[in-house]
Chain A
Amino acid sequence: MFDNLSDKLNSAFKKLKGRGALTEKAIDEGLKQVRMALLEADVNYRVAKNVISDIKKRALGQEVMESLTPGQQVIKIVYDEFSRMMGSSHEELSLDGKAPNAVMLVGLQGAGKTTTAGKLALYLKKNGKRPYLVPVDVYRPAAIDQLKKLGSQLDLPVFQSTQEMKPLDICLAAERRAREEGYDTLLVDTAGRLHVDEELMAELVGLKTGLNPAEILLVADAMTGQDAVNIAGSFDKALDLSGVILTKMDGDARGGAALSIKAVTGKPLKFIGVGEKSTALEPFHPERMASRILGMGDTLSFIERAQDAVDQKKAEKLEQKLKKNQFTLEDFRDQMASVRKMGSIKELIGLLPGVNKKMLSGLNIDEREFVRIEAIINSMTPEERRTHAMIKGSRKKRIARGSGTTVQDVNKLLKSYTQTMKMVKKINKGGMRSLRGMLPF
């Protein structure tokens, strides 16, 4: 079986060695794998279908970036589209209205509302707010007790509701109390309910009308399957949510529900719950979620790093030089430096398409070797770097001294450089398709 999407894509693209723009055939083949990955991650069937067709429209005719394979290029498009869908950055709660502002937590049973209420209160307190926990779950046995206990564990104030009170009465009384005590944010922990329970959904609408909350957050389980669209859609329709908190993200669920929920509601994911501890609440980062759903953090980070490290214009210039066999030792050094900027060489080779862990196990790369090579080239004069043929005996000695190496080392470098140049001449039409061509060692 395939470990992740990038493996799948690599195998799908093995046959495709074409260059330039992505062909429809290549895209279809790649997107089939992407679709499977989405479904395996619990992205809703119809959402996945729409995403795929959007991506296809974007991908058609796109140029393949010089530093990427077609498979990686498709992943990049998918990833960009995902990040775009998820929102570009973390969105904070908007609690700047006249105090006290209310934050309502809603969701199904067992999604983690009460636990999240505690975590969120702690988070707000750390950010200079004065939160007030308001237990409104009068249905589940001991739900109110749970929040009261959490409150005392975390040293946070809790409104003393009782099961006999009506939810709206609790909220209004808590609001009055907050004004008296100077609490600026109410965290309203509502009872878990099914989105198809009309009576209980109507109760939430009543709370919204009576309380006019600044935020209504859906608390949803990261492990939710296909039904996420129905759940989130119903809550959003009834309440016009302001955001979503995804819980139980410390498990191994891929969390495709995040994409489904975002697609259906259009509301931002604001936080994720990542553990049993009360501090285990983190701001949501769209790009991390995208790579988690795709199950391919490695390749994505490689693509990111490649994008950062390789300046497009520079790369084009280099390719021109290579084509004209004008690739000097200077270029060689620059290229190596930009590769090294991306991480350790072994790690990078491991990320390359077609390279698996088995192949890597026999590979013993001395990272210091690259430092030596850089030092040697740095010890040359600009002229020497441009015309390596002029480097003879006494120059070699000087360079070895300057770089703290030996004449043998300098010879070795010059030899591999000439070999590389021979290779470049041969594969000139292949250009810099893969980084592997750049590593003659």
Chain B
Amino acid sequence: MAFNLLKKKGNTPEETGNGLFGKLKQGLSKTRDILFTDIDELFSSKRTIDDSLLEELEESLIMADLGVDLTLEIMERVSKKSKKLSTADELKAVLKEEISALFPAGSAEEDPSGAVKPQVIMVVGVNGTGKTTTLGKLATKFTNQGKKVLIAAADTFRAAAIEQVEVWADRANVGIVKHREGADPAAVAFDGVEAAIARGVDILLIDTAGRLHTQKNLMEELKKIKRSVGKRLKGSPHEVLMVLDATTGQNALSQARLFNEAVGITALALTKLDGTAKGGIVASVAHTMDVPLKYIGVGEGIDDLQDFDPNLFINALFD
């Protein structure tokens, strides 16, 4: 993924000039900001390891929404190890190890354009996390990579959701499959796959309606969408991307668990990182669910979706 990043950097001058490069740099600093901006500050002055440093560390982790359980888990290990350490720098290295270990290795992840055509990506999540926006940005990203993209507007529930995704399809200059508002979303998804196959599309993005994970019948509906996609194209969807909002706290764990039970999440996207929320709960989610965080949303613009690379992130965090 780090390689991806460099490749893109090389492409920037002829494409969008400084804009994209600037965004990438911004994205990197955003990546750095996720979770723990304050932690560097803790270590910046030459402090000795004492209870107050550990307490402040604990505060930073909790303030980053990492969650009480995971914070306590990490703090217990860190403070145990800290007894053998003398400098804050060494403590930093220990912490770095601990946090790296939270993110499942995403290196073996292959490009979704890989083997089968079309690759079907289903975008899911609770209301208001930014599913449609993320999907629109993904459409642009894949199109820029030279892929042929199609969107299925399977959020038939929320008023004007179809119009919203249509605008994104226009912006990304990709095709869209839609029914009327109130139509069966599974049927839209099915038609999406059908059209994707017929048109020789590389990637099909399916937009689904936001739903609270505790709404049993809506989760059943989501299962049905997935089943109908699989019926038309065996092995699909190839990716179930769950969109999490960085401002969300501990509830993200419950969301991820129930969405995973229903439709099996394969990747995470974390949105709204351009605010002040640190989005630490994603570390908890990635850790407990063993699902990679693939994308981070850092702004409203069509290019404001970045690949997330844990290694890059950890290094950026501490260097």
Contacts and interface: CB of A to CB of B under 8 A. Distances in A.
Given A112-B128, A221-B248, A194 B275 contact: yes
B167 A226 contact: no
Given A42-B251, A142-B167, A196 B276 contact: yes
A226 B65 contact: yes
Contacts of B126: 223, 248, 251
Interface string B152-172: 000001111101101110000
Interface string B241-261: 000011111111011000000
Interface of B: 59, 62-65, 67-69, 126-130, 157-161, 163-164, 166-168, 181, 212-215, 245-252, 254-255, 272, 274-278, 281, 300
A147 B67 CA distance: 36
Given A36-B68, A110-B127, A221 B247 contact: yes
Interface of A: 36, 39-42, 44-45, 108-112, 139-143, 145-150, 153, 194-196, 221, 223-228, 230-231, 248, 250-254, 256-257, 276
B248 A145 contact: no
A225 B275 contact: no
Where chain B touches its partner, the secondary structure class is: loop
Given A194-B272, A256-B249, A39 B163 contact: no
A111 B129 CA distance: 8
A221 B128 contact: yes
A110 B130 contact: yes
What are the 6 tightest A-B residue pairs by CB atom distance, in nearest-first order?
Answer: A225-B249, A110-B128, A141-B167, A42-B249, A142-B163, A149-B159
Given A145-B163, A196-B275, A252-B214, A226 B128 contact: no
Contacts of A112: 127-128
Contact of B247 (A147, A225, A256): A225
Given A142-B161, A226-B62, 11 more contacts: A141-B164, A145-B163, A145-B164, A146-B159, A146-B164, A196-B275, A221-B248, A225-B277, A227-B276, A230-B276, A251-B126
A112 B247 CA distance: 14
Contacts, number: 141
Contact of A109 (B130, B158, B281): B130
A231 B275 contact: yes
Contacts of B252: 223
Nearest to A149: B159
A194 B212 CA distance: 23
Contact of A251 (B59, B213, B247): B213
A226 B214 contact: no
28 contacts: A42-B65, A108-B247, A110-B130, A140-B164, A141-B166, A142-B166, A146-B163, A146-B164, A147-B159, A196-B276, A223-B249, A223-B251, A225-B65, A225-B247, A225-B277, A225-B281, A226-B249, A226-B278, A227-B276, A227-B278, A230-B277, A231-B247, A251-B214, A252-B214, A253-B249, A254-B250, A256-B249, A276-B157
B128 A149 contact: no
A194 B62 CA distance: 22
B62 A252 contact: no
Contacts of B128: 109-112, 221, 248
B246 to A, nearest CB: 8
A89 B62 CA distance: 31
Nearest to A36: B68
Nearest to A257: B249
Nearest to A234: B276
Contacts of B274: 194, 196
Contact of A195 (B63, B249, B276): B276
Nearest to B132: A141
A39 B58 CA distance: 12
B293 to A, nearest CB: 16
Contacts of B158: 146
A40 B212 contact: no
Contacts of A194: 272, 274-275
A145 B160 contact: yes
